[in-house]
Amino acid sequence: MSISFNEKTRVFRLDTVTTTYAFCIHEAGFPLHLYYGKHLPDDDLKHLLGRGMFTSFSPDVPGFSHTGFSLDVQPQEFPGFGTGDFRASAVEIQNADGNCATDFRYVSHNILKGKPDLCGLPHFRDENGESETLVLCLEDRATGAEAQLLYTVYNDLPIMTRSVSVTNRTEKPLRIQRLASLCLELPTMDYDMIHLYGKWGKERTETRRALTHGTQSIESRRGSSSHNHNPFVALAAKDSAEEHGEVYGAALVYSGNFKIECEVDAFNTARLLMGINPDGFSWLLGPNETFTAPEAVFTFTDGGLGEMSRIFHRAIRKHLLSGPWKDRERPVLINSWEAAYFDFDDDKLAAFAKEAKSLGIEMLVMDDGWFGHRDSDDSSLGDWYVNEKKLKGGLGSLIERIHAEGLKFGIWYEPEMISPDSDLYRAHPDWCLHVPGRENSPARQQYVLDMTREDVRDNIFAQMCDVLSKNEIDYVKWDFNRNLTEVGSAALPPERQQEVFHRFVLGTYDLMDRFVKTFPNILFENCSGGGGRFDLGMLYYSPQIWCSDNTDAIERLTIQFGTSLCYPLSTMGAHVAARPRTPLSTRAAVAMMGTFGYELDPRRLTDAEKDEVRAEIRAYHETHRLVSEGDLYRLISPTQDPFRAAWQVVSPDKTETLVTTVVMRMPETMYFPLRLAGLDPEKRYTDLATGETYSGALLMYAGINLTGRLYLDGQSAVLDFKAE
């Protein structure tokens, strides 16, 4: 890992363990991209810059007429708007005279050991000095705006992070209209764009399509990263597959409106941009004020989509997640939602706990319905005090009863929301997001609190803190159950109303940061109607996110496979639910592709099912470390095979592997040889269930014959191999 600058050629090189990223400073001052890909030993890369002639409609850069240099075709690190590059720009700033022409050029740079924090924003960490950062200083001389581009490389993984900040060095305000966190130029369009689309209950389905001339984009305007599109994208060579081929992967560390776009120009080159969605966004920047955009993380590999995923998984586990639950085994929990919904009291929850303890479950989570006068989803959000008609002895009494059974206790909150039928709304109707003169659009019978306001955040923090500090609570599920409409704030002047979307996200981050610092030992799980806010920004504050409200095992395969393109298994909240179309064993096998828990009434299980649950929990404890720390191999994708799905986790030292296969629907043939991956071909592996021993070479190149074992709808098998 190293960052270097060649004074003679004015070329920057950023080298990771397997990749090289290079750009140069043109004599006009523009940072121009040269290369990103597999590691190069060469020092002089400037000859890669040439892109041939441009058209007569491509303007010259002032002072460089007749030199063959036009921004219209140049691969730029930070392309501006309105000064000669007609492609999508990374930055657009309206200056004091009202125009938006933007032109940033190199001033200086600095190379730092380590990685600066991004104040108020989640970001990849460097707690052990394992990184270097290039700070590239640019200036728009006409407007007085300054920009700092931060590039960080790590010494243990082929990842890089990018972030950008803009400072106003003038005495007049500037208005940022667009500021992308990442601009990546590619010399060819010969890639497929892979992203994750979906909806509530069907999140993060992988889709793949070829780049074509023009612009392809995914985005969210919903106020959150959303169920519909995820802030992750991969550009994969057309011949690439799961375990071979060139792949670029990128993700945004952000939980609000985003846009990812890839534009292919007439010269067949591609420009990838990623950042805050410019729709509905602008930021008024006063004199000497600085605005910082969210961070982007990206990687390159020639080892296919599987290796791209494993790189992201290792990086997220090591450099993004934090706190005591980062590496700790998570307790097996049972959540009350699908067992009782709003219909519970302290006696029912205590009965759940008693039965759950007998099965080996370690935590009871009381979901929605414990506060205010909430018996349905039409009231009480914002009133975070205990409903003692339900919990007759109060929350402390209930927790004592749960602890007496030997279980930990968790609780549900939806801190960013408010019900029109609540004491808080009646006292402070202006505390919700709203636009003067317009009625608020209700969704799920609730509005959204104005998280841009410190007084609102202080109120919610004080209410929740009162409950969390006075009771022994081990887990908090943090939910977010609607999108943002009528996005206005009574606390901001008219000229700042287009800042509300972003300020809302910053306010949420501030509130989460206060909670994780005040209650460092609580396990926080994020949620947004399931997976509506499954992003790197949320993972900075909570080590796991409820993957989807859809708990059907077969449907979960597509959701969890898609999620795994970027996110580690240890971050995916996954439970066994009372969904009878698949056997209990299959539901457990799929849930073990995540954090593992239960979402059912344990009193309704038969004696045989209870014995099965006990065995599943023992298996979870035996394999937890492998699943949470191992390398994932997606052997058969449910989006590519209509019959079966299969995945494998391999320990870092390749001494153990867990292989899971699920039959989604009856296949056309019983013959089923399954090739494994990621093993040491020289080692011999024993199937712990049968005692049979195989070489790693045989398991990978010939496969294990599962003919006849996996044929009927809903069948599954989990194979555990250990090296001799």
Joined together, the tokens standing for residue 697 give 């070479």
Catalytic residue among 450, 549, 601, 720: 549
Looking at residues 76-99, what average pLDDT do you find? 95
Q: Do 158 and 45 share a structural domain? A: yes
Q: Do 357 and 219 share a structural domain? A: no
Long-range pairs of 519-522 with CB within 8 A, sequence gap ≥ 24: 519/468, 519/469, 519/476, 520/323, 520/324, 521/324, 521/474, 522/468, 522/473, 522/474, 522/475, 522/476
**Residue 50: is its pLDDT beyond 80?**
no
Q: Do 455 and 345 share a structural domain? A: yes
Looking at residues 689-699, what average pLDDT do you find? 97
Q: How confident is the model at residue 448 (pLDDT cuts 50, 70, 90)?
A: very high
Which residues constitute the domain of residue 623?
Answer: 333-629
pLDDT tens, residue by residue, 286-319: 999 999 999 999 999 999 999 999 999 999 999 9
Name the domain count of the chain: 3
Joined together, the tokens standing for residue 273 give 């941009």
Q: How confident is the model at residue 60 (pLDDT cuts 50, 70, 90)?
A: confident
Q: How confident is the model at residue 54 (pLDDT cuts 50, 70, 90)?
A: low
CATH number, residue 556: 3.20.20.70
CATH number, residue 665: 2.60.40.1180
pLDDT given at position 130: 87
Nearest-angstrom CA–CA distance, 307 and 292: 31
Q: Do 357 and 280 share a structural domain? A: no
Q: Do 194 and 228 share a structural domain? A: yes
pLDDT given at position 44: 82
CATH number, residue 85: 2.70.98.60
Nearest-angstrom CA–CA distance, 197 and 208: 10
Q: Do 271 and 376 share a structural domain? A: no
Q: What is the mean pLDDT of the chain?
A: 96
Q: Do 576 and 528 share a structural domain? A: yes
Q: Quote the percentage of the chain above a pLDDT of 90.
A: 92
Looking at residues 317-325, what average pLDDT do you find? 95
Q: Is 326 domain-assigned?
A: no
Orientation angle between helical segments 584-591 and 607-629, nearest 10 degrees: 20
Looking at residues 641-647, what average pLDDT do you find? 96
Q: Is 183 domain-assigned?
A: yes
pLDDT tens, residue by residue, 613-633: 999 999 999 999 999 999 999
Q: Do 654 and 625 share a structural domain? A: no
Q: In the listed set 629, 649, 664, which residue is the last one of a domain according to the structure?
A: 629
Show Cβ contacts of residue 500 under 8 Å, excluding neighbours closer than 6 positions.
433, 452, 487, 488, 489, 492
Q: Do 691 and 572 share a structural domain? A: no
Catalytic residue status for 140: no
Q: How confident is the model at residue 56 (pLDDT cuts 50, 70, 90)?
A: low
Looking at residues 667-680, what average pLDDT do you find? 94
DSSP designation for 311: H
pLDDT given at position 49: 83
Q: Do 129 and 72 share a structural domain? A: yes
Q: Is 328 domain-assigned?
A: no
**Residue 128: is its pLDDT beyond 80?**
yes
Looking at residues 388-413, what average pLDDT do you find? 96
pTM of the model: 0.97
Joined together, the tokens standing for residue 31 give 């940072």
Show Cβ contacts of residue 338 under 8 Å, excluding neighbours closer than 6 positions.
551, 577, 578, 599, 600
Catalytic residue among 72, 383, 474, 479: 479
Q: Do 466 and 498 share a structural domain? A: yes
Catalytic residue status for 552: no
- Give the burial class of 675: count Cβ atoms within 10 A of its Cβ; 0-12 exposed, 13-18 middle, 19 or more buried: middle
Angle (CA) 550-355-324 rounded to 5° is 65
Joined together, the tokens standing for residue 525 give 């799980």
Torsional class of 238: left (φ above 0), alpha (ψ -120 to 50), beta (otherwise): alpha
Nearest-angstrom CA–CA distance, 517 and 571: 20
**Residue 501: is its pLDDT beyond 80?**
yes
